[in-house]
């Protein structure tokens, strides 16, 4: 038996002796026992009331002191409270450390609660996003950063890719925003980075390519003109230099195609997207098919399978360029007597799909992720021999990006390839809209 129980036992014993003496004195043991029981009960109720008061004013008041069984209960409570206070202090220290780390991050960091309300924000984030600490804590971030792209990004919740927008404080500053969801109640960590330098370098690169292509265009046109007249010269000079002129003519053609493709790419990259208009896809695809038949010159079996009712909204010329690039590639890379199938239909997922399948050489798996990079070719010599620029699929990718669409490539080495353009439901146009816009 521990000390407090012993004290309690002694207390009860002494109490019984006093009650017995009282019983003898008043010659009524029942009454004495009743008085004793009431006093003992009153003491317990008093101790219970003290405990209740402390529990209600938790932490504001001291834990009461007592002896016996109540002393033991209070001592236990004191121990538990002390342990709890230590844990709280540890937790606060951890939280402070976390706050200091977040504040010291060179990247802007904002932690968001379940309803995107700001919980914590560091200095870099306040200056990039134009937020105030502590005034803005607790407010939903989309009430304060009102860029429509940012609001859509937060609403859509597709955080696999970063969002790049201008800073609301200074429009010449470009910010890259990444969101990392964490915890089980939809908390988020928002990381903001100043990418103005990278953005500027990218702009310089794009301008440089566009300027060089523009500068090359005029001299190339002049050279091309002279080469053509030399090629057609039937005199002594023409006959003597026939082979050399033929090669210069071919190379000039190739350079012209590269310059044209580079200009088209920089237009796609730099010019803002035009207002989309309804595009009669069935007739666009039939034109591509007619050109393909001409290019193939009966060397291939080209099948056409199109949904005549499926229209898109977008840019006719850009779509023509992208789809013809895919079809012409199939013709260029598929050997004689190969089959090519062009299809246009609505998928079960409500996405419109344009696909070109061929029975050509196919592409080894490791090349697939890089095919849309500029100048990436599986076989450079073969591509050049066929008059390729290495820019066709990069153009396709950019056109599709502008149409919220994506390119999927399915190919097995030795077993042909299928290139599919997938357009989202919001890009599918009503046939009547085309009639009214005509």
Of 188 and 397, nearer to ligand ADP (C-beta) is: 397
DSSP state at residue 427: G
* Residue 377 binds ligand ADP, judged by CB under 6 A: yes
Site size with ligand ADP, rule: CB under 6 A: 20
Q: Which of 188, 357, 360, 429 binds ligand ADP (CB under 6 A)?
A: 360
Q: How far is the CB of 390 from ligand ADP (least distance, A)?
A: 4
Of 130 and 390, nearer to ligand ADP (C-beta) is: 390
**What is the rounded CA–CA span in Å between residue 134 and residue 252?**
65
Which region among 112-120, 295-303, 345-353, 376-384 touches ligand ADP (by CB under 6 A)? Answer: 376-384
User: What six digits make up the tokens of 233?
Assistant: 């010269």
Kindly give the residue spans of alpha helices, DSSP state H, lying in 271-315. 281-296
Q: Whose structure tokens read 């071919």? A: 250
Looking only at Cα atoms, what is the longest distance across the chain?
Answer: 156
CA atoms within 13 Å, Cβ hemisphere of 224: 14
Question: CA angle, corner 170, sides to 168 and 174, nearest 5?
Answer: 80
Q: Which of 107, 249, 379, 410 binds ligand ADP (CB under 6 A)?
A: 379
Interacting positions 325-344 with ligand ADP (CB under 6 A): 325, 329-330, 333
- Find, among 220, 219, 223, the residue nearest to 245 by Cα: 223
Q: How far is the CB of 213 from ligand ADP (least distance, A)?
A: 16
Of 314 and 392, nearer to ligand ADP (C-beta) is: 392
What separation in angstroms does the CA of 133 have from each of 98, 128, 140, 172?
Answer: 17, 13, 14, 24
Of 174 and 353, nearer to ligand ADP (C-beta) is: 353
Q: Which of 73, 255, 378, 428 binds ligand ADP (CB under 6 A)?
A: 378
E strands, 103-184, are: 108-112, 118-121, 163-166, 174-182
Q: How far is the CB of 305 from ligand ADP (least distance, A)?
A: 18
Q: How far is the CB of 344 from ligand ADP (least distance, A)?
A: 17
- Find, among 281, 282, 277, the residue nearest to 313 by Cα: 277
Residues at the interface with ligand ADP (CB under 6 A)? 325, 329-330, 333, 358, 360-361, 363, 371, 377-379, 383, 388-393, 417
């Amino acid at each position: 038996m521990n000390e407090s129980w012993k004290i309690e036992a002694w207390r009860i014993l002494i109490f019984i002796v006093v009650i017995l003496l009282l019983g003898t004195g008043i010659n009524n043991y029942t009454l004495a026992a009743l008085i004793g029981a009431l006093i003992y009960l009153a003491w317990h109720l008093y101790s219970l009331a003290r405990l209740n008061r402390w529990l209600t004013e938790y932490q504001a008041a001291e834990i009461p002191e007592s002896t016996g069984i109540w002393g033991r209960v209070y001592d236990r409570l004191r121990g538990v409270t002390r342990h709890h206070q230590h844990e709280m202090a540890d937790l606060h220290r951890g939280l402070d450390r976390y706050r200091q780390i977040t504040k010291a991050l060179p990247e802007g960091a904002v932690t968001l609660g379940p309803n995107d309300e700001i919980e914590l924000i560091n200095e870099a984030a306040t200056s990039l996003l134009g937020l105030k600490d502590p005034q803005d804590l607790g407010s939903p971030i989309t009430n304060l950063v009102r860029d429509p792209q940012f609001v859509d990004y937060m609403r859509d919740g597709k955080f696999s890719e970063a969002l790049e927008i201008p800073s609301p404080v200074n429009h010449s500053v470009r910010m890259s925003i990444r969101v990392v969801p964490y915890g089980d109640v939809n908390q988020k960590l928002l990381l903001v980075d100043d990418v103005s330098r990278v953005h500027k370098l990218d702009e310089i690169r794009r301008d440089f390519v566009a300027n060089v292509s523009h500068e090359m265009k005029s001299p190339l046109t002049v050279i091309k003109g002279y080469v053509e007249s030399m090629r057609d010269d039937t005199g002594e000079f023409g006959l003597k230099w026939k082979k050399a002129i033929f090669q210069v003519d071919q190379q000039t053609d190739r350079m012209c195609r590269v310059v044209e493709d580079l200009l088209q790419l920089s237009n796609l990259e730099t010019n803002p997207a035009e207002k989309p208009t309804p595009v009669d896809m069935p007739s666009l695809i039939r034109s591509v098919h007619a050109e393909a038949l001409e290019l193939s010159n009966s060397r291939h079996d080209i099948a056409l399978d199109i949904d005549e009712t499926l229209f898109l909204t977008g840019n006719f010329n850009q779509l023509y360029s992208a789809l013809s690039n895919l079809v012409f590639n199939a013709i260029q890379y598929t050997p004689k007597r190969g089959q090519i199938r062009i299809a246009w239909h609505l998928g079960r997922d409500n996405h419109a799909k344009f696909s070109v399948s061929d029975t050509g050489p196919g592409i080894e798996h490791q090349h697939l992720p890089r095919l849309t990079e500029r100048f990436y070719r599986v076989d450079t010599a073969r591509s050049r021999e066929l008059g390729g620029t290495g820019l066709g699929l990069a153009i396709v990718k950019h056109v599709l990006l502008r149409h919220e669409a994506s390119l999927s490539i399915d190919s097995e080495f030795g077993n042909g390839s299928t290139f599919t353009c997938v357009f989202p439901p919001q890009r599918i146009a009503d046939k009547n809209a085309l009639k009214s816009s005509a």
